[in-house]
Amino acid sequence: MKIGSLLASGRRTFSFEFYPPKKEEDIPALKSAIAELRGLGPDFVSITLSQKYLPDWNFASISNTLALSGVLKHEFSLEVMAHLTTSIIRDRRTLAETLKLVKILGLENVLALRGDLDPERVEERAFAYASDLVPAVKSGGDFCVGVAAYPEKHPEAPSLAEDVRRLKQKLDAGGEFAITQVFFDNSAFFRFRDAAAAAGIGAPVIPGLMPLTSLRQRDNFVSGQGIAVPPALSAGLEKYAGDKEALFSFGLDYASAQAEELLAAGAPGLHFYTFNRSRATREVFRRVGPSGVRRLV
């Protein structure tokens, strides 16, 4: 089922994102998380295609990650959105080979991204931006293509207005929906959504969420990705830092309230970044009661 068709029907989508295992011994934990979350009936799932998880940037390593998508679809009977990034798929031949594999695996949905650039790999890329990749994917098959959005703007964007312009460019090139980067302040999402609407963007923008349940997670988001953590969330994480279960409970309460507010404000769905852990995502998912809010109308 194409994600764009689900969204166009007025159905809210609930989805999960996983990371490919770095080592063979990580596979059982990933499969366990997938099996536990599968029972919640997600509309789709995805496996990140990231340079951090690939030993080399070639078709063999790309196909290993996509093979996991095939496992999710055929072993777990899940709808899967494949990730394709211009930072890894650097030429048209590799894209053609990749799309051929995507078709063989029976995947209909693709998330087209630029991805993080490695300063040590400065050779020319066939697709400089996601807006270049989107039409190439569309011309390579009958795919539903999604793109990324950044409520706090992309770190490289000079302004929110410019970032919204870039999003419109990707959608005008053939993108049918957008999924946001993680954020912890709903006001950032609402500002971005309003700016997108003012710019003439009508495509659904799905919020990306992740329960914060440790100080280490908070620090990684702030220092590694420049994502803002509201003072109330940061203070709560610090308050309960010495009590693992209280800290976990606080993180769940915050993420649940965040999800409920987004849904009440008309968000077209929720996309959970699981980091291959199921407990926190499962609990937030249970609390927001997606079975009762599947439809927008």
Environment class of 1 (CB within 10 Å of its CB; exposed 0-12, middle 13-18, buried 19+): exposed
Amino acid at 30: L
SS3 154: coil
DSSP code for 275: T
Q: What is the DSSP letter of 155?
A: T
- DSSP 8-state assignment for residue 224: H
162 labelled catalytic: no
Element (H, E) at 61: helix 59-74
Tokens for 146? 């999604």
User: What is the C-alpha separation between 111 and 85, in angstroms, rounded?
Assistant: 8
Catalytic residue among 17, 79, 108, 152: 17
In angstroms, the CA 19 to CA 109 distance is 17
**Rounded distance between C-alpha atoms, residue 110 and residue 63, angstroms:** 15
Cβ-contact 212, 229 below 8 angstroms: yes
Cα(79)–Cα(11) distance, integer angstroms: 15
Gap between the terminal Cα atoms of the chain: 20
> What positions carry a catalytic annotation?
17
